[in-house]
Amino acid sequence: MKTHSDIRHARRWVVKIGSALITGDGKGLDREGLRNWVDQLADLLDEGHEIVLVSSGAVAEGMSRMGWSSRPNALHELQAAAAIGQMGLVQAWESCFQRRGRHTAQVLLTHDDLSNRRRYLNARGTLLKLVSLGVVPVVNENDTVANEELRFGDNDSLAALVSNLIEADLMVLLTDQSGLFDADPRSNPEARLVPIALAGAEELDGMAGATGGSLGRGGMSTKVRAARLAARSGTTTVIAGGREPGVLRRLAQGESVGTLLRATQEPEAARKRWLAGQLQLKGRLLLDEGAVRMLRQSGSSLLAVGVKQVDGLFRRGELVSCSDEQGREVARGLVNYSAAEARRIIGRPSSEIEQILGYVDEKELIHRDNLVLV
């Protein structure tokens, strides 16, 4: 994805909407604004796009309901505000999408959910299933239980990690500014909008400035950092004004709106590199000749029937090596079953997994989306 016009080809979107937009700068939920964004998102869904919505606003809505004028600093106060505000936030999104005949699903995440390999696979599987059903996941940080060690820090980073998780084509960060400027437009009338840049460009740091206002934790600097994080899995980012008329529709039509921060790799290549080099091996699977041939020639998933031996003590979601009968490594991947479970089902067809284990998580031992040839 090189320019705004290429966004027309982006199928899977992660759209993040900030607290200032959702709560009308702290006045309470902006229901008219929510209906407007939902109408645009529903149009995209009708056109065949897949949408995951990352929604800020739970803490800000809780503050509004409690009559608090400034964001609390104490963790337990933030957690209480999030718990209070989450009720209204989810109800508002659900009612707006129901007007367009769309179901929503609430997904609350902590950092540990995406750093733990088993939880990572569970979260990925759930989100992908929801979007395949045409349901809109409404994602937020689980502020009510997250502690300081597990917090994402801002929903821009959460949106980026979700983009990594589901291999999004595009991440859209809607904010109360028109995009990224080369200087602060609030104090410099000569400031110019940056229409397009590489996400990793060093000069963006000087443009981004400080963090956001009193309602949220984000700011332009967190959006630049989020764009770089999303770019690791090949996701391109657009930072745009959420109050721009028809902003999401216009982006989908290829119009130049806001700032586009380009990723330098395609999503599949970036994810494969991450799998191949960034995780520690926890075990090994010895494959028969047929399984090796299917992986190399067809890019297939690895089924238990093609595995002859299991080495190591690994858990679901951990990275294992796959070797041929001569001991040569042919692939690596995130395994869907623990070592103990794998030893019970290897050499057996997928149709027998439930009979052997009493349950079935996945029909594949390693899904092709989580497998890379080496």
Q: 53 and 161: one domain?
A: yes
Section 11-16 average pLDDT: 96
pTM for the model = 0.73
| CATH code of 358's domain | 2.30.130.10
Domain boundary, last residue among 211, 240, 271: 271
Higher pLDDT pick, 186 / 328: 328
Residue 33 vs residues 60, 97, 198: alpha-carbon distances, Å:
15, 13, 31
Q: 242 and 319: one domain?
A: no
**Encoded amino acid at 43, one letter:** D
Q: What residue spans of the chain are helical by DSSP H? A: 19-22, 31-46, 58-66, 75-99, 111-115, 117-132, 155-166, 203-208, 220-231, 247-252, 267-277, 289-298, 339-345, 353-357
| φ and ψ of 224, to 5 deg | -65, -45
For 94-142, what is each residue's pLDDT tens digit?
A: 999 999 999 999 998 876 676 666 777 788 889 999 999 999 999 987 7
With 70 as the cut, is the pLDDT of residue 215 above it? Answer: no
With 50 as the cut, is the pLDDT of residue 212 above it? Answer: no
Q: 218 and 248: one domain?
A: yes
Per-residue model confidence (pLDDT) at position 23: 83
Residue 340 vs residues 285, 300, 307, 316, 357: alpha-carbon distances, Å:
12, 24, 14, 10, 10
Region label for 48, one of left (φ > 0), alpha (ψ between -120 and 50) or beta (otherwise): left
Q: 242 and 298: one domain?
A: no
CA distance 230 to 217: 18
Q: 199 and 96: one domain?
A: yes
Section 231-257 average pLDDT: 93
| CATH code of 82's domain | 3.40.1160.10
With 50 as the cut, is the pLDDT of residue 325 above it? Answer: yes
State the pLDDT confidence band at 281, using cuts at 50, 70 and 90: confident
Furthest C-alpha separation in the chain: 70
State the pLDDT confidence band at 174, using cuts at 50, 70 and 90: very high
Domain that holds residue 219: 4-271
Domain count, the chain: 2
State the pLDDT confidence band at 269, using cuts at 50, 70 and 90: low
CA distance 276 to 281: 10
With 80 as the cut, is the pLDDT of residue 157 above it? Answer: yes
Per-residue model confidence (pLDDT) at position 363: 92
